[in-house]
Amino acid sequence: MTPLAIVFFLLAVVIVWGGLVASTLFLRRRPERQSFPPGGHDDHREDAAPIEHDT
């Protein structure tokens, strides 16, 4: 392997594993969303679903 290939390999490993570690740490600090945007009323869409036919 050339030195350039090794550098790109190490860069890719740092980006992938660094992103995994960063996202894991972020989710450990804030596991669930604390507030939701306004307006989330139930519009009963499951009540007016399309008819399913047995074929």
Q: What is the pLDDT of residue 23?
A: 94
d(CA 43, CA 11): 48
User: Amino acid identity, residue 31?
Assistant: P
Query: Closest Cα to residue 13, out of 2, 5, 1?
Result: 5
pLDDT tens digits for range 2-52? 999 999 999 999 999 999 999 999 999 888 877 777 776 666 666 666 677
